[in-house]
């Protein structure tokens, strides 16, 4: 039986004391690729914060699958708090993503280092592991931050508008990477502000409008949207 990895029932969430999500119910299954869409201020990021347990809902329930632990989820926020001139190498940035997943004291374990190396190799950026993060292009930085999110997760990856700062080619390459990760078994939830079919690359769309949430197949959403 294919049980959901995330089950949301009658969820109501507020931001600055204003309700932005009202009585939402939906399920996300293993290997789903869910695109979350809606106008600016509609509550997309607030919903994600609720799923991550960063804010408490007004009412309703969020239930994770039995095998989904806190360290099974990787998160790539819209604005990552790494200074552009932060004096760290690519490998050091990615390695920092293992802090919540692997137990260690004063030094990174060999297991953590292997996970970081594997993530860099998986995304095709192992050759820049010793380069300074501050000297990378926008597309390269986003790949590095994705690698850092990957080493934090074994099950679910959540991204908040990851292509905002990317040009067309970099965005296309980035989306291809996400598709491959999803095909390999990773469940992905991605906020996007674009409603073009090229940007709705997942199998499902969750749309938010005037506090109401609708979750459906991408094909059905595109037919209805058009």
Task: Write out pLDDT tens, residues 168-217.
Answer: 888 888 888 899 999 999 999 999 877 776 778 999 999 999 999 999 99
210, part of any domain: yes
> The CATH number of the domain where 197 resides is what?
3.40.50.300
What digits encode the pLDDT tens for the residues 140-161?
888 898 899 888 877 899 999 8
94, part of any domain: no
Residue 21 CA, chain-centre distance (Å), reads 19
In this structure, what token pair is assigned to residue 176? 């291809």
Do residues 141 and 133 make contact, with C-beta atoms less than 8 angstroms apart? Answer: yes
9, part of any domain: yes
Closest CA to 150 of 105, 172, 110, 119: 119
Domain that holds residue 225: 1-68+157-167+188-226
> Please, what is the average pLDDT of the chain?
86
Say how far apart CA 225 and CA 81 lie, in whole Å.
Answer: 35
The domain total for the chain is 1
173, part of any domain: no
Angle formed at CA 84 by CA 136 and CA 162, multiple of 5 degrees: 70
Q: Alpha-carbon torsion 66, 77, 170, 116, what sign?
A: negative
114, part of any domain: no
């Amino acid at each position: 039986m294919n049980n959901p990895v995330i089950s949301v029932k009658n969820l109501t969430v507020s931001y600055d004391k204003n309700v932005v999500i009202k009585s939402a119910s939906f399920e996300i299954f293993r290997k789903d690729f869910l695109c979350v869409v809606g106008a600016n201020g509609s509550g997309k990021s607030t919903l994600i914060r609720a799923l991550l347990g960063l804010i408490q809902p007004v009412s309703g329930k969020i239930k994770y699958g039995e095998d989904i632990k806190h360290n099974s989820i990787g998160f790539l926020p819209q604005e990552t708090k790494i200074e552009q001139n932060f004096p760290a190498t690519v490998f050091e940035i990615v390695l920092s993503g293992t802090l919540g997943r692997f137990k260690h004291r004063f030094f990174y374990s060999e297991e953590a280092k292997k996970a970081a190396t594997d993530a860099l190799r998986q995304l095709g950026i192992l050759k820049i592991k010793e380069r300074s993060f501050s000297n990378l292009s926008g597309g390269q930085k986003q790949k590095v931050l994705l690698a850092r999110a990957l080493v934090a997760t074994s099950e679910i990856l959540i991204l908040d508008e990851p292509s905002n700062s990317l040009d067309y080619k970099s965005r296309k390459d980035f989306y291809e990477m996400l598709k491959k990760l999803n095909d390999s078994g990773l469940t992905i939830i991605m906020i996007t502000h674009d409603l073009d079919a090229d940007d709705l690359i997942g199998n499902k769309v969750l749309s938010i409008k005037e506090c109401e949430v609708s979750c459906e197949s991408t094909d059905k959403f595109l037919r209805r949207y058009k």
